[in-house]
Amino acid sequence: MSDEPREPTARERGLAKMRELYGDEVREVPEGVSPFTDVMLETLFAGVWDRDVLSMRDRRLLVMGVVAALGATDIWGLQARSALANGELDADELREVLVLLAPYAGYPNVAPLVGPTEAAIAGPDAG
């Protein structure tokens, strides 16, 4: 038995990155329960998100653009809350992202994102 620390697995690195990005917003799925989740942790979070070429803020903005173009309101809310919680964007910047995205992603895709954006800005205790 060696006392040398072992390198974390790709899954462990992925879980750490996911927690860094989303905090308690996303629940951990035990290994082996969902092959989709296992692959996502190992490739998306341990592989793509853990690279150091783009900042986390840059990555978040790119993901938000794709999410807006897809009209994925629920994922937008997660991204908005996480961007605010991690200090990647402030309220004014988050609102400005919507202004910029509307002509590119389409007003019908972006208009439904205003509500989740304002809810994220108001915080979990608002309402």
Tell me how far apart the alpha carbons of residues 7 and 92 are, in angstroms, rounded to a whole number: 41
Tell me how far apart the alpha carbons of residues 4 and 22 are, in angstroms, rounded to a whole number: 31
User: Residues 63, 120: one domain?
Assistant: yes
Residue 116, domain member (yes or no): yes
pTM for the structure as a whole: 0.87
User: Residues 47, 69: one domain?
Assistant: no
CB-based contact 100:64 (threshold 8 Å): no
Q: What is the pLDDT of residues 86-108, one digit of tens each?
A: 999 999 999 999 999 999 999 99
Tell me how far apart the alpha carbons of residues 119 and 34 are, in angstroms, rounded to a whole number: 31
Q: What is the pLDDT of residues 32-41, one digit of tens each?
A: 888 999 999 9
CATH of the domain at 75: 1.20.1290.10
Tell me how far apart the alpha carbons of residues 93 and 12 are, in angstroms, rounded to a whole number: 32
Whether 1 has a pLDDT exceeding 60, the answer reads no
pLDDT of residue 2: 65
Q: What is the pLDDT of residues 70-87, one digit of tens each?
A: 999 999 999 999 999 999
